[in-house]
A and B are shown apart, each in its own frame.
Chain A
Amino acid sequence: MRLLTLALTVALAAPVRVEAQELTLSVAISMKEAVEALGRRFAQARPGVTPRYNFGSSGELQKQIEAGAPVDLFVSAAQRQMEELGQKGLILAGTRRVFARNVLTVVKPGDSTLDIAKPADLLDPRVARIVIGNPRTVPVGQYAEESLRALGLWDRVQPKLVFAENVRQALDYVARGEADAGFVYTTDAATRARNVKEAFRPPEDTYHPVVYPVAVVRDSTHPALAQAFIQLLLDREGQAVLARLGFQPPRASDARLGSGHPRFAPASRTSRE
């Protein structure tokens, strides 16, 4: 009996003794590897701190935060989602920073024999299915729609479009050969270099710059820790990891909110407008 009491005491006391701090990061899934790599360094330098990741499309993560998800830090793949959270007062506006850039690319399956070298090649009837992120929630789909509209191809590729819930799903559809082409970021293409190859890159003046903003969420329980993670993303160590994975550094103009950041027209609601 005494042994049982002792065991119970130890079991009940144990969780209290470890002063664990969990930092929950909602991260645009295209940043997965980069944030995980930096998270390991972050945790190594701070014993007792455990980063927890919630990966998804920026729009999905935004809605979760709006619904009250207990998140400390939000990393978005576009300004739009961050902007909407800012307008609702759900992020600490002063902490918001742009820390990286990315580039849109079109990939095809690694064993594809189709010659897709320029945007107009997407109209080729042999290109039967094109996957983009769902423009309602997925930034890479919003950039793709913007680019296809600017190129005057949107209406004609509509019947071929398949929507993915996030950029990695779009990438996977192409890697599996289910889609003949797909819009992803160059950094995503690099993660599956054995299964997909780049077909062409849409002209960069056809879509708004792909910038990654980060901010501390208003209801964060560890705002100082979250702020420290933002610092890691911005400092030399963080930027080196990002550069190694193919991300570009932010430009001076990215920091100025309201100038040059995406002002999207409302994304289309169906694929058949």
Chain B
Amino acid sequence: MTPEALDALVLSVRVAVVATLLNATLGIPLAYLLARRAFRGRAIVDLAVTLPLVLPPTVTGYYLIVLLGRRGWLGQPLYAATGWSVAFTWYAAVIAATVMALPLLVRTARAAIESVDRELEKAAYTLGRSEWRTALEVTLPLARNGIVAGLVLAFARALGEFGATLMLAGNIPGKTTTVPLAIYTAVQTGEMGEALVLVLALTALSCAVLVLAGRLGARAA
């Protein structure tokens, strides 16, 4: 494996791990709120989270540029204040992967949370538990399998993200070239050997993740 290919592989794993952690932090509370709470703007939040699942990744990438680019709604003030912009950094790859993976976690975890028997939650309330503690001690543990499955899906999606990453993070070898981008470049430049190595590496990694998830699921059940 060439150093460039190894760089891409390491970066891909790093991006996918961080994106999955971000997904857990954002996605699990979001899934809980969507499943258990009626709040203003719930439909809009649901729509916004789900859209990246159905939109072409390039459309999501475009929105991210409009939002986070140097002249973007958030990017402009950030750049004015710090002289730093997220575009074309590996953080951009993390953001793209996070946004693209979020709907997979939220939808899976939400379904799992909705299937938890409400009577058990009510029992916890009657025993004096707050909603916060009930969620942590009753609801989420019972929904654990669905949440783990969602995290695995999110990790796999983050590992394979291409379109939105290319648009927000660019394709800079050693900095933002993840495995899917490296495969694309290798095929474009006719380096089929390098492409094959990366294709096999990504396939092996994805298989490992699925097997691991199967084991986790079996133990949890």
Report yes or no: A269 in contact with B71, Cβ–Cβ below 8 A. no
* Interface size classification for chain A: 20 to 34
Chain A window 75-90, contacts with chain B (Cβ cutoff 8 Å), 1 for yes, 0 for no: 0000000000000000
Are the C-beta atoms of B171 and A136 separated by less than 8 Å? no
Q: A269-B4, A270-B4 are in contact. Are A163 and B189 (CB under 8 A)?
A: no
Check B88 against A129 for contact (C-beta < 8 Å).
yes
Name the distance in Å between A157's Cβ and chain B's nearest Cβ: 13
Instruction: Say which residue of A60, A178, A272 sits within 8 Å of B174 (CB atoms).
Output: A272
Minimum Cβ distance to chain A for residue B159 (Å) = 22
Does chain A have a CB within 8 A of B217?
Answer: no
A63 within 8 A of B: yes
Q: Is the Cβ of B174 less than 8 Å from the Cβ of A271? A: yes
0/1 string, B157-196, CB within 8 A of A gives 1: 0000000000000111111000000000100111000000
Quick check: A270 and B173 within 8 Å, CB to CB? yes
The B contact surface, by secondary structure, is loop
Interface residues of B in 57-75 (CB under 8 A from A): 65, 69-71
**B87 CB–A CB distance under 8 Å:** yes
Interface: B85 (CB within 8 A): yes
A30 at interface by CB-CB < 8 Å: no
Tell me, in angstroms, the Cα distance from A60 to B175 when the chains sit together: 22
Contact B189 A136 (CB under 8 A): yes
Closest B residue to A125 by beta carbon equals: B83
A128→B83 contact, CB < 8 A: yes
When the two chains form the complex, which single residue of B70, B88, B171 contacts A134, counting CB atoms closer than 8 Å?
A: B171
List residues of chain A with CB within 8 A of the CB of B190: 63, 66-67
A271 and B188 within 8 A (CB): no
Per the CB 8 Å criterion, the residue count for chain B at the interface is 21
Q: Which residue of A lies closest to B3 (CB)?
A: A270
User: CB within 8 Å of B: which of A133-189?
Assistant: 134, 136-137, 161-165, 176-178
- Selected from B4, B87, B171, the residue in CB contact (under 8 A) with A178 is B87
1/0 contact trace for A188-228 toward B, CB 8 Å? 00000000000000000000000000000000000000000
Q: In chain B, what residue has the closest Cβ to A128?
A: B83
**Given contacts A128-B83, A161-B172, are A136 and B71 in contact (CB under 8 A)?**
no
The answer to whether A63 and B69 touch across the interface, beta carbons within 8 angstroms, is no
Contact in complex: A162, B88 (CB < 8 Å): yes
Known: A162-B172, A271-B173. A178 touches B189 (CB 8 A): no
In angstroms, Cα B189 to Cα A137, docked, is: 7
Determine if B88 and A178 form an interchain contact, defined as CB atoms under 8 angstroms apart: yes
Q: Does A250 contact B (CB under 8 A)?
A: no
Nearest CB of B to A262, in Å:
18
User: Within the complex, what minimum Cβ distance (angstroms) separates A132 from chain B?
Assistant: 11
B70 touches A59 (CB 8 A): no
- CB neighbours (8 Å) of B70 from chain A are 176-178
Inter-subunit contact B189/A177 (CB<8 Å): no
Cα-based distance from A128 to B3 in the complex (angstroms): 26
A243 → B minimal CB distance (Å): 33
- Distance of A26 Cα from B66 Cα, bound (Å): 31
Chain A nearest CB, measured from B38 CB (Å): 41
Contact A270 B189 (CB under 8 A): no
Query: Complex formed: what's the CA distance from A250 to B36 in Å?
Result: 71
Are A178's CB and B172's CB within 8 A? no
In whole angstroms, what is the CA distance A134 to B66 when docked? 24
Q: Is the CB of B69 within 8 A of A178?
A: yes
Minimum Cβ distance to chain A for residue B78 (Å): 13
Q: With A177-B71, A178-B70, A270-B4 as known contacts, state yes or no: A60 contacts B172, CB within 8 Å.
A: no
**What separation, in Å, do the CA atoms of A150 and B18 have in the docked complex?**
41
User: What is the bound-complex CA distance between A63 and B83, given in angstroms?
Assistant: 39
Closest to B79 in A: A177
B171 pairs with A176, CB closer than 8 A: no
In the assembled complex, 23 residue pairs joining A and B whose CB atoms fall closer than 8 Å, in A order, are A59-B188, A66-B190, A128-B83, A129-B88, A134-B185, A136-B185, A136-B189, A163-B173, A165-B171, A176-B69, A176-B71, A177-B69, A177-B70, A178-B71, A178-B87, A269-B4, A269-B173, A270-B3, A270-B7, A270-B174, A271-B173, A272-B173, A272-B174
- Complex A-B, nearest 9 residue pairs according to Cβ-Cβ distance, in ascending order: A270-B173, A272-B174, A177-B71, A63-B190, A177-B70, A136-B189, A162-B88, A178-B70, A271-B173
Q: Residues of B at under 8 Å CB distance from A? A: 3-4, 7, 65, 69-71, 83, 85, 87-88, 170-175, 185, 188-190
Q: A162-B172, A271-B172 are in contact. List 10 more A-B contacts (CB 8 A).
A: A60-B188, A137-B189, A163-B172, A163-B173, A164-B170, A176-B70, A176-B71, A177-B70, A270-B7, A270-B174
